[in-house]
Amino acid sequence: VQAWDQEIRQQQEQIEELYDRQDPVEQTDMTQVYTYIVCEQNGVDYEMVFALIEQESRCRWDAEGDNGTSIGLMQVSEKWHMQRMEELGAYDLKNPYQNVLVGVNYLSEIQNDLRGTVPDEDLPYYTLAVYNYGKQGAKANLWDQGVVKYTYNTKIMDRAQQLKEEKKKAEEGRG
């Protein structure tokens, strides 16, 4: 496992070095490819993550929310994710690769914790609710009131579906 972790960190460093040398358009393309790979490795839906990034930061790597406590593409808070950041070797949340790594890892953990306890078709909605509110907050503010789908998670899932449809059309156009 340690050899695998070291190999992943080396690959991440190589990608970051390339990123620093690219123009902004190439950086965005590289970030999307990296995000796709991290999603695949963690079993998290790429289109959902991309839609979440659009919602959370408008795809701005340097975005700050919640009075500066939520940082980067996925609006990760150091306060809640320091241990995760340390475990992943991700210390700079304004670095888009490190931010995505932490955010997708968190989504994967949420998904895995919820799997089997909620209906499969609602799993993404529950996952996004926990990402947005935290588990206690989602329970108190949504689930205890009988709410699964609300503006935040529905908007993200609608956009994810739109992205999937666009991808399908693009693939059909190539074939």
Residue 1 reports pLDDT greater than 70 = no
Please report, for residues 55, 104, 115, 140, 141, the alpha-carbon distance to residue 36 in angstroms, rounded to integers and kept in the order given. 17, 10, 21, 33, 31
Tens digit of each residue's pLDDT (9 = 90 or more) over 27-69:
567 889 999 999 999 999 999 999 999 999 999 989 999 998 9
Residue 2 reports pLDDT greater than 70 = no
Instruction: Decide: 50 and 28 in contact? Cβ < 8 Å.
Output: no
Q: Shortest CA distance to 50 belongs to which of 19, 28, 22?
A: 28
Lowest-pLDDT choice from 7-11, 23-27, 126-130: 23-27
Q: What is the rounded end-to-end Cα distance, in angstroms, of the chain?
A: 39
pTM equals: 0.84
Residue 19 reports pLDDT greater than 80 = no
